[in-house]
Structure 1
Amino acid sequence: MRPTNTSVFGAVRLGHLVIETNRFTDWRRFGTDAIGMHHDDLDTGLTRFRLDDQECRFLLRRGPAEDVVATGWHVDDHSAFERIEARVRAQGVPCAEGTAEEAAQRGVERLLRFPGPKGITQEIYTTPVLSPEPLRMLASRWVTGDAGMGHVAITSTRPALTRAYFGTVFDARLTDCIDETISGVKLKIRFLRVNERHHSIAVAAVRGLPIDPVRTRVQHLNIQAATLDDLARSYDRVHELGFDMALSIGQHTNDKELSYYARTPSGFEWEVGWNPLVIDETTWEPSTHQGISVWGHTPVGQTIVDKLGQFRLAARSLAHPEKTVRALSGAGAPDD
């Protein structure tokens, strides 16, 4: 087995997501007509969205979860792939090679799957399959490339374990933190990077309280628009087609990204962003920002009933311990 101690930082990027849903009609309208992506229907139970020449960026499969169920990471080469595999197997965590059918659905080669935090399966692959079919989408293009296609944000009652997991598996680095108070609830958000993108993973926790106010495993996911015009036009389409807007357009304090948040048919949020800063590894130092936004990002249409619903979900989470992968998270890691 290959050595596990050589860093894979910079050789990994967010490549695809798998979403389980029974709301295919709504998702096609949301992804294609509102957000502006290309879509392909494989059969009655499988749909794919494209952002670029890769065959698949989002795989929607039929099922009851209404959530992201797997995160796919594009690994530069076989050597880095084998280092990650060796790390996971060395801790006794089960790995499963993806079947030819699973790899084909995702448009990838050499697929490996293993458990991740909050029950989200982590997938790694080496080579994406490129489609010769021209893109049919309302956006001019999306920013993907060597830094990946965006990021995923999760809420966690065990943030230190979650951070340690991504540090162990992908050599993720802490970019910065945000302290925010929303409706009297204090949040601390940690932003992790695996390459020059400001963050590929964000981990939010309620400070001092072991509760999770979000029903879904993923709180939101992000994709990056190529132009400000693309961002504005998709924002208008979300409104015009009647999809819920979670947060209006605003600018974040830490990565300076201009963005808005729409609510997907499955309930988690979808952030469309533009022009985030790029990390310079020679000069970057982590810091803590007060508040999520410089301006904007105001809640849209949230009622007292919605807030009460969130508190009920948070209370319910106390009875259901969060899934962690202790072997890859450092069994002694304190929660911070």
Structure 2
Amino acid sequence: MTVNGLGYLGLVTDRIDQWRAFAPLVLGLHTREDVRDPQAERLLLRADSWHHRLSVRSGPQSGLEYLGWQVRGAEQLQETTDRLESAGLTVTPAKPDELHDRAVIGMSHFTDPLGLRHEIFYGPTVSRGSFEPGRPMSGFRTGEQGLGHVVLAVPDAAEAAAFYGRTLGARLSDVLELRLPTPGGPLDIRARFLYLNSRQHSLAVMELPDPTYGLQHLMLEVDELDDVGAALDLCDSHDVPVSLSLGRHANDHMVSFYLKAPDGFEIEYGWGGLAVDPDDCDVVRHDRSSLWGHRRLVSGPAEILALLPGPAHATEGG
């Protein structure tokens, strides 16, 4: 595998003011304004020593702007580019302003069949000093496992998994297939989970009924279980909708809950994810998504019910 993991994520939002408070107060991310382009209204969110892991840019319509996948260096970037082009994809080298924007040395990008932009990059900028969370907490589990994981809603999970295997070199860790009883009749859920490093999965693709194809949720993993509980309490005290109750997943053993971001997509906030051996991982099939918990509390897009009172925000650039 030449791609090492999920490095960063770019979002567009029409609720930038809510993100200014939500990201540090609830998630614990270090938030700073991008003073290099004040007119853009962009927040740079740090989860560790990297310059930033998430970019949230103000725009007229909310959505996923890009996904960044890390490789080790220029040689691996070329190898991945060659593989993408051999698969019939158009790969475009980054412009200097894009490299500056992402704070990386090298990057190329392509568009997948869903219309999502994927960026292959190397050489992230590491900021001086230790990571300072937006609220008291232990920190986030990143390092060689990358930012966390993303789940994409797709029309065909098997087809999408095969595509990301050919292009990103992602490997299948497990399959989820289950039938849920609903008032309208049985609902079939199909998902494929893919790994790029020792994180049990960095990418998952899931067939959902009548979905808006694209980002379904982003997972952030913290270093201590108490940080999950603290975030759950903050959601309760600030009327942030919780979509799935506290629970433990069957595949990666993550103890987590799901909350609604200001734009309505879900963020899984968890601890204790399973690590695998990337060179010795057998594919398994699961017939349930969770060992316990994860009860559905909110369905569909939801508003953040109260604008969170955030702390003073740094205005660092760079």
Partner of 1:324: none
Quote the Cα distance in structure 1 between the aligned partners of 2:4 and 2:278. 15
**Could you tell me which of 189, 193, 196 is aligned with 1:187?**
189
Hey, what does 2:202 align to over in structure 1?
200
Q: 3-state DSSP class of the match of 1:39?
A: strand
Q: Is residue 112 from structure 1 mapped to residue 105 from structure 2 by the alignment?
A: no
C-alpha distance after superposition, 1:44-83 (max 9, x if no partner) = 5211100001011001112234121210011112221110
The alpha carbon displacement at 1:149 in A equals 1.4
Structure-2 residue corresponding to 1:209: none
How high is the TM-score relative to the length of structure 2?
0.86
3-state SS in 1 of match to 2:214: coil
Provide runs of 4+ in structure 1 moved above 6 Å.
none
Please tell me whether residue 29 in structure 1 is matched to residue 21 in structure 2.
yes
CA RMSD of aligned residues (A): 1.9
* Separation in 1, partners of 2:170, 2:125: 26
Residues 228/117 of structure 1: CA separation in 2 closer, same or farther (3 Å cut): farther
CA–CA separation in structure 1 for the residues paired with 2:294 and 2:191? 16
The structure-2 alpha-carbon separation of the partners of 1:296 and 1:62, relative to structure 1 and needing over 3 Å to count, comes to same
Farther-moved stretch of structure 1 (122-131 vs 236-245): 236-245
Residue 45 of structure 2 is aligned with which of 24, 45, 49? 49
Q: Which residue number corresponds to residue 268 of structure 1? A: 265
Matched, 1:227 2:220: no
1:300 to 297, 312, 316: 297
For residue 107 of structure 1, report the CA deviation from its aligned partner.
Answer: 1.8
Contact 2:87/2:166, CA 8 A, preserved across alignment: no
- The one-letter code of the counterpart of 1:204 is M
What is the deviation of 1:90? 3.0
What SS class does the counterpart of residue 118 from structure 1 fall into? coil
Identity in percent: 28
Partner of 1:215: 212
Does the CA contact (< 8 Å) of 1:225 and 1:231 recur in 2? yes
Q: CA deviation at 1:200?
A: 0.8
Query: Which runs of 5 or more residues in structure 2 are unaligned?
Result: 303-318
* 1:58-207 equivalent positions in 2, closer than 5 A: 58-132=54-128, 134-137=130-133, 138=135, 139-182=137-180, 183=182, 184-206=186-208
Residue 103 of structure 1 aligns to a residue whose secondary structure is: helix
* In structure 1, distance between residues paired with 2:214 and 2:278: 30
Structure 1 position 202, deviation (Å)? 0.8
Task: Answer whether contact 1:66 1:267 (CA < 8 A) is retained.
Answer: no
Please say if residues 175 and 285 of structure 2, whose CA atoms lie closer than 8 Å, have aligned partners that are also in contact.
yes
Number of the residue aligned with 2:311: none
* SS in structure 1 of the partner of residue 114 of structure 2: helix
Q: Distance in 1 between matches of 2:131 and 2:276?
A: 30
Q: Measure how far apart 1:92 and its partner are.
A: 4.0
Compared with structure 1, are the counterparts of its residues 105 and 239 closer, same or farther at alpha carbon in structure 2 (3 Å cutoff)? farther
Against the structure 1 CA distance between its residues 256 and 86, is the aligned structure 2 distance closer, same or farther, given a 3 Å change threshold? same
CA shift digits 1:135-183 (9 cap, x unpaired): 3322321010112111110121122331122111122111011223343
Q: Does 1:290 align with 2:287?
A: yes
Aligned length: 292
The offset of 1:278, in angstroms, is 0.8
Q: 1:216 to 1:20 in 2, by over 3 A?
A: farther
* Structure 1 residue corresponding to 2:5, chosen from 13, 33, 58: 13
TM-score in terms of structure 1 length: 0.82
